[in-house]
Amino acid sequence: AAAVSQVTVRDALNQALDEELERDERVFLLGEEVAQYDGAYKISRGLWKKYGDKRVIDTPISEMGFAGIAVGAAMAGLRPVCEFMTFNFSMQAIDQVINSAAKTCYMSAGSIGVPIVFRGPNGASAGVAAQHSQCFAAWYGHCPGLKVVSPWSAEDAKGLLKASIRDDNPVVMLENELLYGVPFEMSEQAQSKEFVIPIGKAKIERQGTHVTLVSHSRPVGHCLEAATVLAKEGVECEVINLRTIRPMDIETVEASVVKTNHLVTVEGGWPQFGVGAEICARIMEGPAFNYLDAPAVRVTGADVPMPYAKILEDNCIPQVKDIVFAVKKALNI
């Protein structure tokens, strides 16, 4: 049998960066604390020592400045990986991400490519309150010209980061700080230097017949836990890990809904105009709608800025019990 080992999301991302820096000399990493300190979350551990000042660059605390430098570098033929210490701080640079990076290929009639990756932790961590806890999947997923990926497992993280760096378009990679230290099983194939996960393809993490659960990032784990709980009660959940927010793999979701006749979406972001809202709309407009035996149900973060108090935070983030409740509501049990 092929060797399977436990790898944390942090090490998977580090592996991907290391392999891509080695593979293509145009690739470089920049951001706050990425070089000498080994990264705020140690994602870039050892890379500055190995590749030096030109390839791994510490920046001042100026997102608009270093994101702008990165976009210009991409237009000029380099392949920057721009790390935000949290995606909440990408708001300082959203003009660069949207108006400079996302729109340029179209506005130049395809003559100017912007091969850049914006990456870093997205969504709620623990106890960091409203200014550090927002999920930006719906924001960036809204904008044509970007690709948006949202990994869950170590395999997702490695395969999607490598695919993002190799892609000729701007890619926003939304990681999750609470997953960095979590170990996942990784196959020998997933640990090879040529392993990539195609952008725009979802993965069925668990087969089921009664209800389709669609999620991305950390809530995929919650969905799998909820599926284990529900299986004890005879309910078989099919769990879909979206992996990519834009372009969205609605075909995989449709095929599942045709089979299960029920849909529950789960996300850490806010309800209004969210990822779940988009999935529900696409299902309603498409061929799978006639197969639904009940209204789709959304499980989302609470519609408030994230509170600081732990008990309030726990009540703002979808928990396993919320998913179980939503499934029972959808199945009318």
Candidate list 20, 32, 63, 313, residue with the active-site label: 63
216 in active site = no
Alpha carbon distance 242, 261 (integer Å): 19
Element housing 29 (H / E): strand 27-31
Phi and psi at residue 270, in whole multiples of 5°? -70, 155
Element housing 5 (H / E): strand 4-8
Strand order in the sheet with 147-149: 56-58, 27-31, 79-83, 117-121, 171-175, 147-149, 244-246
Alpha carbon distance 82, 31 (integer Å): 6
DSSP 8-state class, residue 58: E
3-state helix, strand, coil in the chain (%, to 5): 40, 20, 40
Whether 198 contacts 149, CB under 8 Å: no
Is 169 strand, coil or helix?
A: coil
DSSP 8-state class, residue 215: E
Helices (H), 167-274: 219-231, 250-260
132 in active site = yes
Candidate list 132, 216, 222, 262, residue with the active-site label: 132
The residue written with tokens 């506005």 in the block is: 107
Per-residue HEC secondary structure of 59-92 comes to CCCCHHHHHHHHHHHHHCCCEEEEECCCHHHHHH
The amino acid sitting at 294 is A
Q: Which residues are catalytic?
A: 63, 132
